[in-house]
Chain A
């Protein structure tokens, strides 16, 4: 009988002290980002994706961005100057 009482007392004490525990102080887990060369996630509207490259192919994506930079932002390449 005393043993049961002792066990019960220990359980109650343990449960009571459990509320005094602190939450983890470490920063939250940072999410990893998906590489943009993988393209839009399934379910995204494909109408917004530019043509001329293949999603999932990093080399194709890099080539696409470089070509887009040259054609869209370098007027010297567009007018045929050096």
Chain B
């Protein structure tokens, strides 16, 4: 089993926030906590790009490294989860995460910061799969129901892809090949190979020299 991964296609994201809404509705996420957000770069400028961001379930997760009570764990599928019974709400993971994934409900008195909440890749937590306890603490466990994350499955333009990393990467690569755009992004060569090795797309009708691609 490959690792579960998200990828957001900035060429397709239309900033509809459907993924955000799907996530909040599926897991009954409280007000003020956003497990997923849509970030727009160069907002208002022609050619602006939007991407949907949540926990990226890092292979070498910095949140896991800094947690003083070691509440994080990684599943066999590469999903980074945490135990809310162990979390002390210190916020170290929030400072460590480069994506702003850890969220803290602040609905208590005196600005009380509750236990951390974040994207679970719709895999719940350490409680029994799809149990009431798991649902109340972490939301639905769609993976145990044979489903994929709600955000990715609800994305209207299929900009947000989520699932087995190998399958998702293959879908994205094929998409870029078909439309002839997207291989110029940073990291394409690392992920799919240099043009000389056959990894980059030979876009239909594209006259771009191969050497120009990353």
Residues of A within 8 A of B (CB): 27-28, 30-36, 38-41, 43-45, 48-53, 58, 61-62, 64-66, 68-70, 72-76, 81-82
Contact = CB atoms under 8 A, between A and B. Distances in A.
Given A27-B69, A27-B70, A65 B161 contact: no
A70 B76 CA distance: 22
Interface in B117-174: 123, 125-131, 140-141, 143-148, 152-153, 155, 158, 161-164, 167-168, 171, 174
Contacts of A45: 130
Given A33-B73, A34-B129, A73 B145 contact: no
A73 B152 contact: yes
B76 A35 contact: yes
Contacts, number: 119
Report whether over half of chain B's contact residues are helix, strand or loop; otherwise say mixed: loop
Contacts of B107: none
Contacts of B73: 30, 32-33
A33 B126 contact: yes
29 contacts: A27-B69, A28-B85, A30-B71, A30-B83, A31-B85, A33-B73, A36-B77, A36-B129, A38-B144, A39-B145, A40-B130, A43-B131, A48-B130, A48-B140, A48-B145, A50-B145, A50-B146, A53-B146, A65-B148, A65-B164, A68-B146, A68-B147, A68-B163, A69-B161, A73-B152, A73-B155, A73-B163, A76-B174, A82-B174
B191 interface: no
B175 interface: yes
Interface in B168-197: 168, 171, 174-175, 178
A65 B161 CA distance: 13
A59 B172 CA distance: 24
A49 B86 contact: no
Contact of B148 (A27, A34, A69): A69
A73 to B, nearest CB: 5
Contacts of B178: 76, 81-82
B78 to A, nearest CB: 12
B13 interface: no
B126 A31 contact: yes
B55 to A, nearest CB: 16
